[in-house]
Structure 1
Amino acid sequence: MGGLVEYFQKGGPFMYPLLLWSIMVVGFFIERLITFLRSRKVEEIRRITDQVIDMINRDVPLDELERTCRRFGRMEGEVLSEGIARFRFISTEERTPEEMRAELNGTVERSSLGYFRRYLDVVNFLASTSVLLGLLGTVRGMIVAFAQIAEKGLGEPTIVARGISEALITTVTGLSIAVPALAIYAYFDGRATTKAIQFEPYGHLFVDALMRRWGRMKQAA
């Protein structure tokens, strides 16, 4: 532990934001991992979607329908409730059936992909900026080293080496954060796409049910 603290101190002031960046990357990794591990299997998705479609076909009030969807929680609860909320908002507008279907399909697709991609853009940002922070530390370390050379000449190699050491430590630390963060981003981004595609056919069935209900609402009006 003492060696780690000493290593951290040698890296200079830019080690503090890099430490914060590394903690956030680990935190987002754990949060996304739990989200994916808790995601429902296809059989459960089908059961929930069928239950919601049955309620739509029975013309259950939209408020009750939205509350029921939210109680399911996880991706399905969030996506279906957002779909109902969007349907309620646009069902009173003058839309063609094609526009209505496209709007609802877009809402479901964005919501399902967004649920699994949540925080991934932040991870990508942390990966990019950790490299830049490392480079800033590198520049600062070199400035310190050359300032010492200008002040004391080459007769104090230890002082010069301290600045160069700071430069190299921040570079290594920044890259050590960026590489795993990019790997985390790439892995979960791919998994998010797979999960969204997995839900897509059930999303279409859900939208079909809403379109039939919209037709009944138009006829009743």
Structure 2
Amino acid sequence: MSPLDLLRAAGPLLWVLLALSLYVVYLTAMRIQAMRRLGQDASALIERARAITAESGPAAALAEVDRSAHPAPAVQVLRAGLHRADRGPDAAVSAMQSALLAEDSRLYAGLSALSTAAQVAPLLGLLGTVIGMVRSFLVFSQTSAPTPAQLATGISEALVNTAAGLVVAIIAYVARNALRARADRIATQAERVREDLPGWLTPRLAAAHVPTPVVSLPPRPEVSLSFDGAHR
């Protein structure tokens, strides 16, 4: 039996697995392209923004970040913090936290679908295996002495679906883990920016709010009243 005959004998579940494999490959390719764009190194821009913040303030650093148009999540978090820097470190941290959540949704998009495909593909292969074995046993019910060719149809369906389900699951599982590791590295740089930016702003805010010296007045003389000389 040729490989083409095996594929034909595998039944309709094989076409479902083939469609699932095409979806996994397409989603993996799209996420690799997105990770390549989002994973551009932003260390030089972050250091430049830190220096500008120390020298000219958050507004100048924000203008520099906007001019760069860098797509990295760390830069988006930095932009959100600098935009709210004039309201204090707490407002900047809150804005950066919101931006970090939005960037996480971009980084980890599609990974849950790959995880689902890695779990469903073996189950579909197992279902095809059961259907193939049922077909093989039906041959015994129809004839007392089945030929190898009659048994081969159900057995080939079982084995081909099992192999196809495992192959799709392995591809989806490996792709999901590799993409997640890449997303974790990118998210770490964004979290580091969220932790470092309040330290950039603290010296400038402290210099802008120098306390006014309090002039102490000399103590007033105490006046005591005595009633010892009162008339009896």
Question: What is the TM-score when the length of structure 2 is the normalising length?
Answer: 0.66
Relative to structure 1, the CA distance from residue 7 to residue 158 in structure 2 (aligned partners, 3 Å threshold; closer, same or farther) is: closer
2:34 partner amino acid: T
Aligned partner letter, 1:174: G
Equivalent position to 1:133, from 104, 124, 127: 124
Decide whether the 8 Å contact of 1:127 with 1:179 is kept in 2.
yes
Q: How does 1:39-78 map to 2 (within 5 A)?
A: 39-43=39-43, 45-46=45-46, 57-58=58-59, 72-73=70-71, 75=73
Deviation of 1:43 (Å): 2.8
1:42 Cα deviation from its structure 2 partner: 2.9
Contiguous gaps of at least 5 residues in structure 2: 203-232
Q: Any idea what SS the aligned residue of 1:14 has?
A: helix
Instruction: Flag the structure with higher helix content.
Output: 1
Question: Kindly tell me: are residues 44 and 16 of structure 1, through their superposed partners in 2, closer, same or farther at Cα, counting changes over 3 Å?
Answer: farther
Change (3 A) 1:76 1:101: closer
| Alpha-carbon distance in 1 for matches of 2:14, 2:154 | 14
Q: Which amino acid aligns with 1:148?
A: V
Q: Which has the larger radius of gyration?
A: 2
CA contact (8 A) 2:74 2:193 kept: no
How do residues 1-221 of structure 1 correspond to structure 2 at under 5 angstroms?
A: 5-38=4-37, 39-43=39-43, 45-46=45-46, 57-58=58-59, 72-73=70-71, 75=73, 103-205=94-196
Q: How far off its partner does 1:175 sit?
A: 0.2
Runs (5+) with no aligned partner, structure 1 = 60-64, 92-96, 212-221
RMSD (Å), alpha carbons:
3.9
Cα offset, 1:21, TM superposition:
0.9
Aligned residue-pair number: 197
Report the TM-score, using the length of structure 1 for normalisation: 0.68
Partners of 1:10 and 1:115 in 2: how far apart?
42
Q: CA deviation at 1:44?
A: 5.0
CA distance in 2, matches of 1:119, 1:175: 20
